[in-house]
A and B are shown apart, each in its own frame.
Chain A
Amino acid sequence: MREIHVDQIIDAVAEMVQEANYDLGQDVENAIKNALNTEESQTGKDVLNQLLQNYEIARTERVPICQDTGFAVFIVELGQDVHVVGGNLNDAINEGVRRGYRDGYLRKSIVGHPLERKNTGDNTPAVIHVEIVDGDQMKIHMAAKGGGSENMSFVKMMKPSDGVEGVKEFIIDCVRQAGPNPCPPIVVGVGIGGTFEKAAYLAKKSLFREVGKRSHLEDIAQLEEELLEKINKLGIGPQGLGGRTTALDLHIEIYPAHIASLPVAVNINCHASRHKEVVL
């Protein structure tokens, strides 16, 4: 057993939530730069250039890329030979979020009760998923997930007879319906299979994958390419003002399904797809 003290986790989380919000990954930036070469709309180009300028300001001045600094969502890959000492893993992550959002002047966007809607004041609790893996390392993935794009997400329990054509139609329809609302150019996360909640989790998990990276499954990689091309023919464009660049990428994760089921989840991310990872 390898021991990891909660203080290490707290420090790592406090730092990564700030970095995620100030310093957008090169994956997104490269995708936007590539899109500038294919974007036909002048307004669309202006928007993409504004986004690039904004990323630069955020990075150099260490201010948030977007005022919606998000729900802090974590996927922790926890090696089964790790022993967390000094406290509880969830508490440590929440303490890291609390400190990071306070010290980094990030917006506190969480209400403690979904119906009473009083702000918790420190952006906790986080949403934490833990996957047990082999080994003695702990890999923490974090995404700052904005509300505008999250609100444009869907889960549908489709029929096996709907088949791949039905699935494609549903995914494209979700993006069409979302239109300008989720801050395009978007990243589309798709989960297919499993149960109701598994499909939604897979869609979210797929958003943690780098923009520009294809599925390791050949048929799924092809489906990703095809859907991305179709989505970019919708004409929605940067910020929904019309253009070629509606999505920067589309990721699909799959899981076995019940003989009666074909769950499909579509989780949309804005262009500011903010994710970081750290290995302890």
Chain B
Amino acid sequence: MATVHITTPVSAEEVSKLNAGDQVLISGVIYTARDAAHKRLVELVEQGKELPFDVKDQFIYFVGPTPAKPGQVIGSAGPTTSYRMDKYSPTLLDLGLRGMIGKGSRSQEVKDSMVKNKAVYLAAVGGAAALIAKTIKSAEVIAYEDLGTEAIRKLVVENFPAIVVNDVHGNDLYIQGAAKYRID
């Protein structure tokens, strides 16, 4: 259990040093995408077309923010539940996506793909959306503006807080954490 600062883009080597349970503070660019955007991204991959951004060594944050109030960079922006992206994540991991940020369990297929491709899955605190928004310094829609909250945004973050749930070694904090505190 350590606190680790990482700055994107992140190499496979760097991500391999992270362990389930580590608290991470992320700085740099991260991209937002949730259900509808993932569907479109994977359709592009299947058609052999170029993606709106290069996923290699990048992090995707599963989020659909509230509209920004006047003077705000972004509205409240906490994680959405990740399993809905399970169908799409392996395709992006095969292209070199290095990290995903969301909340809740991932499928075995996604976990295996993370081990194979040397990528990590981090949890942000669900429902801490106003607090997390304070770490977002800029936000720009770069694709799928028609999707509104579900559009792909390029965020610049400073010390965005998250916890490593799945590391490249196949550990899963959700399983191990619950087992540690279970009383039979």
Contact = CB atoms under 8 A, between A and B. Distances in A.
Interface of A: 40-43, 46-47, 50-51, 53-54, 57-58, 61, 63-69, 105-109, 117, 119, 121, 147-148, 151, 179-183, 233-237, 239-244, 270-272
Nearest to B65: A67
Contact of A67 (B36, B129, B174, B177): B129
In this complex, the member of B23, B103, B128, B134 whose beta carbon has the largest number of chain A beta carbons within 10 angstroms is B128
A1 to B, nearest CB: 41
B178 A237 contact: yes
Given A241-B173, A243-B181, A47 B67 contact: no
Interface in B103-128: 103-105, 123, 125-128
12 contacts: A41-B180, A43-B1, A47-B125, A64-B66, A65-B76, A66-B76, A67-B64, A109-B149, A148-B81, A148-B104, A237-B177, A240-B103
B35 to A, nearest CB: 9
Nearest to B183: A233
A180 B65 CA distance: 21
Contact of B182 (A47, A64, A65, A235): A235
A240 B163 CA distance: 11
B163 A241 contact: yes
A58 B103 contact: no
Given A108-B148, A148-B104, A69 B66 contact: yes
Contacts of A147: 81
Contact of B181 (A105, A237, A239, A270): A237
B126 A63 contact: no
A113 to B, nearest CB: 14
A41 B67 CA distance: 35
B179 interface: yes
Contacts of A237: 177-178, 181
Contacts of B173: 241-242
B177 A243 contact: yes
Ranked 8 nearest A-B pairs via Cβ: A242-B177, A235-B182, A235-B181, A183-B126, A181-B104, A233-B183, A54-B131, A54-B128
A197 B165 CA distance: 37
Contacts of B21: 43
Contacts of B130: 54, 57-58, 61, 63-65
A240 B128 contact: no
A65 B129 contact: yes
A53 B105 CA distance: 25
B178 A179 contact: yes
B66 A107 contact: yes
In this complex, the member of B23, B131, B133 whose beta carbon has the largest number of chain A beta carbons within 10 angstroms is B131
B75 A105 contact: yes
Contacts of A64: 66, 75-76, 129-130
A105 B75 CA distance: 8
B83 interface: yes
B78 A180 contact: no
Contacts of B184: 233
Contacts of B72: 63
Interface string B49-89: 00000000000000111111100100111101101000000
B123 to A, nearest CB: 6
B176 interface: yes
Nearest to A244: B181
B125 A240 contact: no
